[in-house]
Structures are given as C-alpha cells and as structure tokens.
Amino acid sequence: MPEAAPVRRSAPRRASWMLAALAIALAALVAAGVMRVRRDRLARAQAPVAVRAPLAAASGLTAGDADELADLLRRARGNPGVLIEAFAAWAADPRAQAKRRVLLGAMVAEPQPMTRLAELLAAAQASPLSLAADPLRRELVGAVSSMWTGPLVRRGRDLMFTEARPRARQVVIESFVELALSDRVAGLDAAQRSGLTSDFIDLYRQSGPDQRRDVVAVVRKLGGNDVAELLQGHGLGDSSTLEHHLAHRRNVEAAMRQAAEPH
C-alpha cells in the first residue's frame, strides 16, 4: 500500500490550537496568582495573633488591648494618621497609657527620618493635653531628641523658630534642651555647639519663666557661665556675678592686702 501522506493542519486549525494553548497558560498563571493572593491574605489575617502575644507580654496589656493594637497597627500601614488619632484620643485616659506607649514605639520605628519626625510632632500637637500634663512627655521628647544627629541638627534648629504649631514647637525646643544637657552633646561639632548656643540666646527673650530656666542651663553648659550671667542681666558693677570679673576683683583685693602689709 502506498505510504499515507502526512496530515497537514489547515491555518484555521493551527490558530485554534495556538489559542487553546495560550488559554491554558493564562489559566495556570491566574490560578497561581489567586493562590499567592490567598496566601498573602491569610498571612495578614494571622498577623494580629502573632503580634498579640509579644505585645501583651512586654507591655502588660490585656489580650483585648493587644488585639485592638494589632488591628490598629495593621490599618496604619500607609496611613499613619490612624496612629496619631488614637494617640490623641487615649491621652486623657490613665488606663490607656500603655497602649499609647506602643503607638509611640510604632512611630519611632518608622525608618524614614523626616516621616518619623512629622508623625511625632503631629502626635504631640494632636494631644488634647498640654505637654506638661502628658504622661508620655519624656518619651515623646526623647524620641524627637534622639533624631538630632548630623545634618538633621540644622533642620531641628530651624524648627525651633519656624514650627507654627505650639505644642509641636515646644517638643522641638525641649528635645534640644535634652540633647544639650546630656552626654550626647559631645557628638556635636564646634559649629553646631556655637549655633545652638546662639539659638538659645535668641529663645531666651521669647520664653516664659519656666522655660527660661532650661534655656539658661543650656547656655551655661554650651557657652559658659559668663554668657549665662549676661543673658540674665547680671552685668558689670559691684553686683557683677561674671566669673572673670569676680576673679579680677579677688586679684585686686589680694594685691591691695599685700601692698598694705609692712615691709
């Protein structure tokens, strides 16, 4: 028998076969994508359970508090305003300070420095309490103060004068007081120390009595006793408290006593 001729597919049949293969490939890709999305959703749904235990153990929170915080932290991804609103809403509740401390920690954990600073200052301003009355005052001021290194020092110095929100500005000023009166001030170079001294001299005239004590303490540490005394109006004359004037007076008195002694 003669050999059968090979079967040749017509052009329409080849096109149909290729479309079917393409459809199968697309279906496989879609199925893989759906499975990946489901895994991601499952991981997100399980996140509060993973977060709840360490929160409760580390902070003494109840299981309900930990669940609430875990949900809040999840919703705050990409929307830090959620943290700021809760931080302010819980400010006046003595029982909610542990939860506020967790929120503050979440803001401090923001890796972008300028975003972190913006969140911390917004949280300070949003609180209905005065800064002096806020139980987390020291933690909030300390979190901002820890940012003042390198080029951010210049940015922070500017904010002491340009920040228009009163509570946020107060936090900035107090954060530099904390820096200047701590051992961390040794990390500032000569230009930064000199600039900060000038800033606090300028702030003295704008400050109330309570804040002036801190301003004088900073100027005394960075600029010396004489600068601090002059800042407070303790100038020349018999009542002068300037160190070099007192030393000069002691030297003159010693010389006069020596001259009066019989030879």
Which residue's structure tokens are 């902070």? 59
| H, E, C per residue of the chain | CCCCCCCCCCHHHHHHHHHHHHHHHHHHHHHHHHHHHHHHHHHHHHHHHHHHHHHHHHHCCCHHHHHHHHHHHHHCCCCCHHHHHHHHHCCCCHHHHHHHHHHHHHHHCCCCHHHHHHHHHHHHHHCCCCHHHCCCHHHHHHHHHCCCCCCHHHHHHHHHHHCCCHHHHHHHHHHHHHHHCCHHHHHCCHHHHHHHHHHHHHHHCCCCHHHHHHHHHHHHHHHCHHHHHHHCCCCCCCCCCCHHHHHHHHHHHHHHHHHHCCC
Q: Report the candidate in 202, 191, 183, 111 with the shortest Cα–Cα distance to residue 151.
A: 191
How high does pLDDT run on average in the chain? 79
Examine the pLDDT at 46 and tell me if it is beyond 60.
no
pLDDT 10s digits, 26-38: 455 444 454 444 4
Q: How confident is the model at residue 53 (pLDDT cuts 50, 70, 90)?
A: very low
Question: CB of 121 within 8 A of CB of 108?
Answer: no
Query: Which whole number is the average pLDDT over 114-136?
Result: 96
pLDDT 10s digits, 80-102: 999 999 999 999 999 999 999 99
Both tokens of 82, joined, read 């959620």
Q: How confident is the model at residue 136 (pLDDT cuts 50, 70, 90)?
A: very high
15-19, 140-144, 181-185: segment of lowest average pLDDT: 15-19
Query: Which whole number is the average pLDDT over 63-79?
Result: 92
Both tokens of 23, joined, read 């459809």
Examine the pLDDT at 71 and tell me if it is beyond 90.
yes
